[in-house]
């Protein structure tokens, strides 16, 4: 099992990743890894995502839908809220993750990293930062 230096809250692990202005500006072409591959025989079950935006001296423009991607490329959740990042004031957004009732094949889950992607349009011109917190469990896939 990997050592992720995270915190355990209410039975869930919590990890927070800070994104710089440069990472936000590049997010359309360069996803940011939030959790590394957990190792063969394990997968991440994401429960909740919290985005905290801290504005800088200039606002971002444009932008697009933010996705947390894992499970071999499956979309775990959509935070279609570019306004969280383009605002002039501190913002917080909480997204509870819901999985299909049909289940997920464990072959797609095994050893998959989790990343944050912007899939529709790049952010431009801003200099704020973003804190991304994930609440998750590490589960066996075998």
Q: For residues 107, 110, 116 and 122, what is the CA-based torsion angle, rounded to 10 degrees?
A: -40
Q: What is the pLDDT of residues 86-122, one digit of tens each?
A: 888 898 888 777 665 456 666 677 888 989 888 888 9
**Domains assigned to the chain:** 7-140 (2.60.120)
Q: Are β-strands 32-35 and 114-118 bridged in parallel, bridged antiparallel, or unpaired?
A: antiparallel
Q: What is the pLDDT of residues 13-34, one digit of tens each?
A: 999 999 999 999 999 999 999 9
Give the residues across from 35 on adjacent strands: 114
In which residue are the tokens 């440069």 written? 22
CA 126 to chain CA centroid, Å, is 20
């Amino acid at each position: 099992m990997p050592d992720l230096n995270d915190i355990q809250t209410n039975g869930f692990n919590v990890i927070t990743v800070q994104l710089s202005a440069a990472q936000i500006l590049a997010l359309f072409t360069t996803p940011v890894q939030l959790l590394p591959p957990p190792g063969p025989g394990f997968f991440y079950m994401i429960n909740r995502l919290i985005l905290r935006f801290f504005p800088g001296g200039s606002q971002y423009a444009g932008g697009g839908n933010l996705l947390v991607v894992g499970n071999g490329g499956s979309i775990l959740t959509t935070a279609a809220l570019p306004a969280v990042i383009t605002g002039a004031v501190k913002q917080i957004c909480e997204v509870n993750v819901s999985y299909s009732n049909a289940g997920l094949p464990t072959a797609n889950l095994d050893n998959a990293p989790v990343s944050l992607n912007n899939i529709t349009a790049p952010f431009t011109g801003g200099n704020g930062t973003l804190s991304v917190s994930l609440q998750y469990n590490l589960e066996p896939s075998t």
